[in-house]
A and B are shown apart, each in its own frame.
Chain A
């Protein structure tokens, strides 16, 4: 809400010396938060009103025509010849017009200093100003021409145009609807300073008898409807400068006297008003629900298709206005309107909110209605508008005043007198509580420690006992709240899952991965780049109604979408070795498009109801994703280095699993976006929980990434869920170790994991098995590979004999022979 300070000070006489800054700070502490102070001192004088005495048009070599003017700028500023010579390029004025002149020494917005200067063969001793040059808007090609009688030659134009005036831009919270008016801000200002104020809504309503015929069929939406007519109004009369100025300072456009008056009164007392050209109305006005499919062309020229959720104002032809949101085009006030029907209706907030939302039509009126407008005001608002119209535009106010309905009453709020103290933690005595509430306009009764508080008609946020606490604390001061640290009962610390998640984060950092945070938005373009098959379930996303980008219409099903984009950025910025990791949720829609239930708020949902709500939400497991490119070990003075490979990606996942004591089975797999021959699946209890390996060359090409990028992604929730509460018991023998090496020739496609499992299972004496070489080449047959293993043998209870060692070795050979291995000779 933009509040011209001068207007506010007119309603509240502030103590001497209160500056705009102090006022703003005080209002901020009163829940009217200052966004900014607009204007004030941008233009430095002399800026005066002048009369054009003479005007000579002179053609210039550059094709332009300039006016060489003599301007009377008042005795204080005129030269010896009784005026000043000024060159002006605009042509929207004639001799005798009143204009605004900035004289040498003046500084205009943007630091533009005015001085006498030679131009077009004359010395221009000042400048005739346009609105744009003064920072008050308007057409820059034309200068300001003041209406006759608006000012006298020599008047200070800074004051006249309100250039020195300051405007407070206040943030008004939804609970303080009343503060969307000068009336409300003035009331709070008065309360803040302990002063009286002039209530601009203190208006005597003169109307009597019935006016224009009105019927309200939808009284749920429209409890009060008031209408009053002004006839014989002169539509050519201008809006008085002070009014146009206030309207514009408040952020609205000055349009015409009739429109400006309705807006002015809305700003002044907070009640939206609509004006009809009465001659265009056909028959009585009826307020009713719209019929499905009915149409209305609103003031902005848009044809709106209505539904039964909308309340409309109609006449014999059908809808002529969308209640509380926007009027219709056909009956609007025009430049020829002489008979005005003024409507001030009280619309219920929820209905307006729905309609404004549905038609995407937030307006100054709907903004006020959906927060709440004082229902006692309709008749008074019409009176005020009618008086202003007649005062400035002539005509007469018709006697007849139609008022349908009465203002709904506020239920009183009952609370113990101690409540504000208990809620705020500040000791507040009973008289202070009562005084604070009365200052807010409430009627207060105190009886044996019980407060009965009837909120004023303009407050819609005082419904509960706690609401009283806020109003009292606002007056007492939030800065009075003491600081007391509560003592929570002993807690259980972090959950196991939370601890393990942190541990995984540290392991990943220890493995040289840099954590990133990407956005979880993705779409078909991503699936295309990743090469996901048409039937891949990861293409089935949770979609958004209002995604920010058409490329990313929903939530992602894999962390690789964000990670690969981040990798592209890093590579594009010249980083060679990039290892990035993200821990975050992916989103998997439930089958059958379930809808989340909406329950009442008067009680806790039952366990079943809560479970139904949970079941509708998509699965959102936390994943870990990582992508790596460049060197796993950089070349240096002591090493040739080593590029990152598919094996690094697998090893990191296994490392994480080992730290959690989870045995992951690695299996050969084929899954986009990985290289079909270089992809591992991680299997946990028969369920695949992740993949790792090298990315498919086509995918890397689609992203414009270098070759051999590797990646992994796994379900962290599943991994953590499988982590045992207690790790394995240390179990080792102190007897000496025996070492045996075994080179086995196996089918090239036999997984090493199978051979390893066979070796480990061959004998109890085999303590560990380590693959130290893989050979494919001339020395083994085609289609075969040689795997060289180092075995460590040990018994728990004795030193091994040569016979023990031979037996174990033979068992290992036999076990691997069973899977097709032969000893390499």
Chain B
């Protein structure tokens, strides 16, 4: 870079002449406009903005100008370079956009190609329904109780007012553990869990007991030696059959929706007095006059059998150490297998237990 020279005639420095600067700028701008690719634009940048470009070279001469000329010339060159840089940036954006668009088009895939290489798991509906019912009761402040499946005879029967000679005991089709004097059974209901709860806690008691139970029924389309129940037990001061009905109505509504209800028919269970069979309003036809006659779910009854229930027999309270003068309770039991088969219109109960993955898969992880 030469030092300022007072002898130097700016008019004679050709590159800094206004027309030259203008020409260089226009040449650059048209080259920029003409660049069709980022690659071409890169060359344009080298040619017109790079260190060896006319305007870069011209810019170097400015310092040599006399001070009075420097400002005007500097402005002229600076404006030209500014215009070029702006145009470059704009053209870069344009070309980048075009190229990206092109790239995206070529990268387009068929998103309908299946990516089904990973196996998908599922939970059995008998598991999820037990959890679902548990949640409904937990939301009301109840707790979920559990117990063993091989149970003491005393807890499965005697404590529940089913003495050794009780006719209902022979009706239970019980699996007995060998030898018979071991006095153990496969529990025929989840009621011994209720007894266990009463034996180990003091009222107020509000528990539900979901679980697997056993009867000596041969497996066929409508019977199974292994099935599932959820039972509920409440023991508190002042409980009556009305509270039982309220609880069951709430459960029906929580599972099946707003307008559901239950009805009671008298029945007999040794552990409750009074006892009732409980029917659920048919969740398909809702016993509507124009739908009920055709309804397959309830076979035109308008109601479906749902389970048994009643007021806890004071004899059971006594065996479990609860004062029947002070406390009363209610209990209910609902068959879950039938709840599943009837709700999902499953004709053969064996489908629940033979383990074909196509039975469980549609359920996913929630009912």
Contact = CB atoms under 8 A, between A and B. Distances in A.
Contacts of A158: none
A469 B155 contact: no
Given A494-B144, A512-B119, A544-B176, A486 B167 contact: no
Nearest to A635: B117
Nearest to B248: A483
B120 A641 contact: no
A27 to B, nearest CB: 10
A546 B144 contact: no
Contacts of B276: 478
A565 B355 contact: yes
Interface residues of B, number: 110
Interface string A590-615: 00011111111111110000100100
Contacts of A474: 266, 274
B183 to A, nearest CB: 4
A335 interface: no
A487 B270 CA distance: 27
Contacts of B313: 464, 466
A481 B241 contact: yes
Given A484-B242, A488-B141, A620 B181 contact: no
Interface stretch (B27-35, B63-71, B158-166, B291-299): B158-166
Nearest to A606: B321
A482 interface: yes
Contacts of A481: 241-242, 244-245, 264
A594 B240 contact: no
B150 A587 contact: yes
Pick from B118, B244, B273 the residue with the most CB of A within 10 Å.
B273
Contact of A357 (B158, B170, B264, B319): B170
A601 B161 contact: yes
A45 B149 CA distance: 58
A545 B176 contact: yes
Pick from B124, B126, B163 the residue with the most CB of A within 10 Å.
B124
A624 to B, nearest CB: 12
Given A493-B138, A509-B122, A618 B321 contact: no
Given A424-B274, A478-B266, A596 B153 contact: yes
Contact of B121 (A546, A579, A618, A634): A579
Contacts of A617: 148, 150-152, 184
Interface stretch (A124-132, A171-179, A384-392, A791-799): A171-179
Contact of A349 (B150, B151, B155, B165): B165
Nearest to A509: B121
Given A484-B246, A511-B121, A610 B199 contact: yes
A437 to B, nearest CB: 14
A605 B311 CA distance: 23
Pick from A466, A502, A565, A593 the residue with the most CB of B within 10 Å.
A466
Contact of B119 (A353, A487, A632): A632
Contacts of A534: none
A145 B115 CA distance: 79
Contact of A517 (B166, B176, B352): B352
Contacts of A371: 167
A555 interface: yes
A369 to B, nearest CB: 10
B138 A491 contact: yes
Contact of A173 (B178, B267, B328, B354): B267
A275 to B, nearest CB: 26
Interface stretch (A6-14, A78-86, A96-104, A569-577): A569-577
A29 B148 contact: no
B288 interface: no
Interface string B95-116: 0000000000000000001111
B225 A31 contact: no
B154 A597 contact: yes
A470 interface: yes
Nearest to A349: B165
A595 B126 contact: no
Contacts of A520: 149, 226
Pick from B121, B122, B131, B225 the residue with the most CB of A within 10 Å.
B121
A68 interface: no
Interface in B302-347: 311, 313-315, 318-322, 328
A469 B183 contact: no
Contacts of B146: 498
A639 interface: yes
A479 B122 contact: no
A494 B139 CA distance: 10
Contact of B365 (A485, A506, A599, A634): A506
Given A519-B353, A613-B155, A482 B242 contact: yes
A354 B165 contact: yes
A595 B183 contact: yes
B85 interface: no
A573 B206 contact: no
Nearest to A486: B243
A570 B240 CA distance: 49
A596 B182 contact: yes
A175 B268 contact: yes
B353 A173 contact: no
Given A424-B240, A469-B311, A577-B119, A613 B167 contact: no
A353 B165 contact: yes
Given A469-B274, A601-B318, A483 B357 contact: no
A33 B234 CA distance: 27
B47 interface: no
Nearest to A482: B242
A593 B234 CA distance: 36
B183 A510 contact: no
B249 interface: yes
A601 B159 contact: yes
Contacts of B355: 516-518, 562-563, 565-567, 569-570, 580
Contacts of B275: 470
Contacts of A283: none
B175 interface: yes
B356 A569 contact: yes
B116 A636 contact: yes
A467 interface: yes
Contacts of A543: 177-178
A595 B183 CA distance: 6
Contacts of A610: 199-200
Contact of A488 (B182, B204, B267): B204
Nearest to A519: B226
A485 B243 contact: yes
B175 A547 contact: yes
B144 A515 contact: no
A680 interface: no
A127 to B, nearest CB: 35
A469 B176 CA distance: 35
Nearest to B161: A601
Interface string A145-178: 0000000000000000000000000000111100
Contacts of A716: none
Contacts of A578: 357
A432 to B, nearest CB: 16
A616 interface: yes
Contacts of B287: none
Contacts of A635: 117
Given A466-B314, A494-B138, A620-B150, A593 B182 contact: yes
Nearest to A492: B143
Interface string A722-745: 000000000000000000000000
Given A469-B311, A596-B184, 15 more contacts: A353-B166, A423-B240, A470-B274, A481-B244, A485-B249, A516-B357, A518-B355, A566-B355, A580-B355, A587-B149, A596-B153, A602-B318, A603-B318, A616-B182, A641-B117
Closest 9 CB pairs of A and B: A604-B321, A425-B242, A566-B355, A512-B119, A173-B268, A425-B240, A509-B121, A470-B274, A31-B266
12 contacts: A31-B265, A31-B268, A422-B240, A488-B141, A543-B178, A545-B178, A554-B178, A555-B150, A579-B119, A595-B183, A601-B158, A604-B319
